[in-house]
Amino acid sequence: MKKILIVSLVLFAGKTFAQDINKIINVAEVERIEKVLASDEMQGRKTFTPGIAKASAFIEDEFKKAGLQYWKGLNSYKQEFFMFESLNASAVVKIDEQLIADTAVVAVSFQEKTSLSEKNTEVMSISATDDFRKKYSEALASKKNLLVLVDASFNSFVKRLKSRPQSKFEQPENSIVFVFGVTKANSFSVELVNKIFKKPLNNVVGVLQGKSKPNEYVIFSGHYDHLGIGKAVNNDSIYNGANDDAAGSTAVMLLARYFKALNNNERTLIFTTFTAEEIGGFGAQYFSKQFNPAQVMAMFNIEMIGTESKWGKNAAYITGYEKTDMGKILQGNLEGSQFKFYPDPYTEQNLFYRSDNATLARLGVPAHTISTSKMDNEPNYHKVSDEVSTLDLNNMTEIIKAIAISSKGIVSGKETPTRVDAGSLK
């Protein structure tokens, strides 16, 4: 009796397991969630807008329905924080007694009013042969007042930089002023007036406490922010971001429900959708400061899994594949199935550094992004046409299931990826 009973129990368990994954992770659910997150009502989910607040409320509700716990110390799924945002209201710049046209000035300052001159400000130059982006970020990272004289060959950057609001966790005391098309300054004066805003934003975080290894974390993440509303193309001005990254967020919500239903995770699982990825990765940066990174065994960051990969269906790639053995572990769990994970084929694009996994990887965490996006030829990437109708929801469902199955050993605590050598990263 006993033997027979055990056998039938095992068979039964095997059957429900197989049924459960399709019951929870299926096309109808993927479509339901995608259609909400990528709807015009969410207004492109731009950070600091009412649209992203609606998206947050929806994800919170899904986490609640999934039965997730709150992150320690919080009393909701909202992991809220604040950022300072600065808008330059006016910049009067004189160099060698000459008034500089406003169209040649980009000011970055978090002071409501400030005056710069050679007495309190250093001068730096960006010449025609320099890497502008690199020098620009170097200047921005400075703690001193800087007047940066930029070669006229970079004039095309002015418009873009001016339209980009500056956001920071802290309110820096120094100011940085870029003047384009001027190569020398013997004397100068700058008068800046800025509008400073302190704005709330939030990640959405839910937890499934680990049974025997609660202090070992496994993170499943995506970002729920996108680009908002922009210039109309064919009467459409909303960047719906169905693939980028409503797709990853959808995966996070369904994986949460799946692992809750399995109810056998030995490690603590953290499900999070980050804010502010598109404007600098601030959501992941804040999130990464809320725990000891040594406790994180793996991070599955999921970005743009809604289109077919360059290898066709049932395949995805893992960024930074060679930096840990996590990719091999995941592939091992997929053996015998029709899914395949490949190393990132677009390494020249530095995708490993271009999503929220990089923040955790810099702390040594085996943190990779899983994606299917054809980055050399993805027609709707960062366009108003990134809509649900352009996605292959069947394939996306299979990718989410593959992530669930491939993470089995890591979730159970039986497999532990090697750590990223943070010193080797860019």
**Which residues of the shown chain bind Zn ion in the complex (CB under 5 A)?**
244-245, 303
Task: For the CB of residue 319, give the shortest distance to Zn ion in the complex, in Å.
Answer: 12
DSSP 158: H
Could you tell me the smallest distance in angstroms from the CB atom of residue 311 to Zn ion? 21
Alpha-carbon torsion (29, 30, 33, 35), positive or negative: negative
- Other C-beta atoms closer than 10 Å to the C-beta of 410 total 24
Of residues 49 and 111, the one with the C-beta less far from Zn ion: 49
DSSP annotation of 312 = B
Minimum CB–partner distance for residue 245 and Zn ion (Å): 4
CB of 338 to Zn ion, least distance (A): 26
Least separation in angstroms between residue 223's CB and Zn ion is: 6
As measured in angstroms, the least distance from the Cβ of 408 to Zn ion is 26
* Rounded distance between C-alpha atoms, residue 303 and residue 247, angstroms: 7
Q: What's the closest the beta carbon of residue 318 comes to Zn ion, in angstroms?
A: 16
Contacting residues for 281 by C-beta, under 8 A, at least 6 apart: 274, 355, 356, 358, 359
Q: Which is nearer to Zn ion, 62 or 245 (CB)?
A: 245
Dihedral (CA of 251, 341, 225, 271) sign: positive
On whether the CB atoms of residues 135 and 151 are closer than 8 A, the answer is: no
Closer residue to Zn ion (CB): 100 or 391: 391
Residue with Cβ nearer Zn ion (172 or 306): 306
CA 273, 276, 281, 283 dihedral sign is: negative
Q: Determine the length of the chain.
A: 426
Contact yes or no for 71/290 (Cβ under 8 A): yes
**Closer to Zn ion by Cβ: residue 178 or 287:** 287
Pairing of strands 367-371, 296-302: parallel
Contacts of 76 (CB under 8 A, 6+ apart): 60, 70
- Residue 62 or residue 244: which is nearer to Zn ion going by CB? 244
Closer by beta carbon to Zn ion, 387 or else 415: 387
Q: How far apart are CA 10 and CA 6, in angstroms?
A: 6
- The Cα–Cα gap between 273 and 205 comes to 7
Q: Which residue lies nearer to Zn ion by CB, 110 or 287?
A: 287
Helical axes 393-406 vs 247-262, angle rounded to 10°: 50
Which residue(s) pair with 93 in the sheet?
A: 190
**CA 24 centroid distance within chain:** 25
Residue appearing with tokens 């909701």: 76
Q: How far is the CB of 273 from Zn ion (least distance, A)?
A: 11
- What is the closest distance, in whole angstroms, from the C-beta atom of residue 196 to Zn ion in the complex? 28
Quick one: 43 or 412, whose CB is closer to Zn ion? 43
